[in-house]
Structure 1
Amino acid sequence: MIEPHRHASHPKLSARLKRAEGHLRAVIGMIEGGRPCLEVAQQLQAVEKAVRNAKQALIHDHMDHCLDGENSESDRAELKAISRYL
Structure 2
Amino acid sequence: MIEHRHASHPDIVKRLKRAEGHLRSVVTMIEGGKPCLDIAQQLHAVEKAVAQAKRTLIHDHLDHCLEETIGPLPLEKRGSIVEFKEIAKYL
On whether the aligned pair clears a TM of 0.5, the verdict is yes
CA–CA distance in structure 1, aligned partners of residues 36 and 89 of structure 2: 32
Paired residues, number: 75
Shift of 1:85: 7.9
Q: Which has the higher helix share?
A: 2
**2:32 corresponding residue in structure 1:** 33
The one-letter amino acid of 1:68's match is E
List gaps (5 residues or longer) in structure 1: 72-78
Shift of 1:5: 1.1
Q: Percent identity?
A: 66
**Once the two structures are superposed, what CA deviation does each residue of 1:2-32 show, in whole Å capped at 9, x if it has no partner?**
1011101101110111011011101110001
For normalisation by structure 1, the TM-score amounts to 0.77
Shift of 1:84: 9.2
1:21 matched to 2:1: no
**Once the two structures are superposed, what CA deviation does each residue of 1:59-81 show, in whole Å capped at 9, x if it has no partner?**
0011001102738xxxxxxx8xx
Runs of 4+ in 1 over 4 A off after TM superposition: none
